[in-house]
């Protein structure tokens, strides 16, 4: 699960990034509104924690831009003011929840988890299936032809990404940022190795092959022609 935190206060930003990382999330931190706006509009996040009071592009503008472009990513906004108008404004603009500063980290974490669960319940199925491959998202398990496949947590994350975006060629840079929290310049050999391992488990003993290499572009999971 990948989160974006937009927070200009250095201490709060560091604290949120550290806490959320320790809770198992991949976290991008934007320290100003401009970066936050850019990442929110171009990145792929499961949830955004958005401070409202930012010195340049404020949280309202970021939220409005997201919803105007039909991005449905859950947004938890942070407000220093406890005024009713502020809260109403945020919710009217399409925020999913809010917290008034100062807040306890445990409360933020609970809200984040609730929003992520709600999103999953509403929008996504519990299981994804391609041919005889079944990915059980709730139990973090994968089966092929009725046989349980043992995957590490990274392998499962990689398989989940490929299955969710079935038929779409995923460049290594996208896989790196979604599964490993690495940026484009990182060593993408890690991805090739992980794909090889995943293939050995998911495809080697089965037919049809599902994970395909698209030369010079990346990887795609689908039933179809060998890449």
Residue 58 CB, nearest approach to Ca ion (Å):
9
Residue 66 CB, nearest approach to Ca ion (Å):
18
Burial 72-102 (b: 16+ CB within 10 A, else e): ebbbbbbbeeeeeebbebbeebebbbbbeee
Evaluate whether 166 touches 136 at the Cβ level (below 8 Å).
no
Tokens (6 digits) for 188: 């993408």
* CB closer to Ca ion, 8 vs 86: 8
Residue 39 CB, nearest approach to Ca ion (Å):
16
Q: Kind of pairing, strands 218-221 and 211-214?
A: antiparallel
Instruction: Please give the residue ranges that form the binding site for Ca ion (CB under 5 A).
Output: 8, 51, 53
* CB closer to Ca ion, 56 vs 187: 56
Q: Kind of pairing, strands 133-136 and 127-130?
A: antiparallel
* CB closer to Ca ion, 16 vs 142: 16
* CB closer to Ca ion, 8 vs 96: 8
Residue 9 CB, nearest approach to Ca ion (Å):
5
């Amino acid at each position: 699960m990948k989160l974006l935190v937009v927070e200009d206060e250095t201490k709060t930003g560091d604290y949120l990034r550290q806490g959320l990382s320790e809770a198992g999330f991949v976290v991008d931190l934007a320290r100003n509104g401009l970066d936050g706006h850019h990442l929110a509009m171009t990145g792929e996040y499961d949830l955004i924690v958005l401070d409202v009071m930012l010195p340049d592009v404020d949280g309202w503008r970021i939220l409005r831009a997201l919803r105007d472009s039909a991005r449905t990513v859950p947004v938890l906004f942070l407000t220093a003011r406890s005024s009713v108008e502020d809260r109403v404004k945020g919710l009217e603009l399409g925020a999913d929840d809010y917290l008034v500063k100062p807040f306890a980290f445990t409360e933020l974490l609970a809200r984040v988890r609730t929003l992520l669960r709600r999103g999953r319940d509403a929008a996504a199925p519990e299981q994804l299936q391609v041919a005889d491959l079944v990915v059980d998202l709730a139990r973090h398990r994968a089966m092929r032809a009725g046989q349980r496949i043992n995957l590490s947590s990274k392998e499962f994350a990689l398989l989940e990404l490929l299955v969710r975006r079935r038929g779409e060629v995923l460049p290594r840079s996208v896989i790196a940022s979604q599964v490993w929290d690495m940026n484009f310049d990182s060593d993408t050999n890690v991805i090739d190795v992980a794909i090889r391992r995943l293939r050995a488990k998911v495809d080697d003993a089965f037919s049809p092959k599902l994970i395909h290499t698209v030369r010079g572009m990346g990887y795609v999971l689908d039933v179809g022609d060998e890449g």
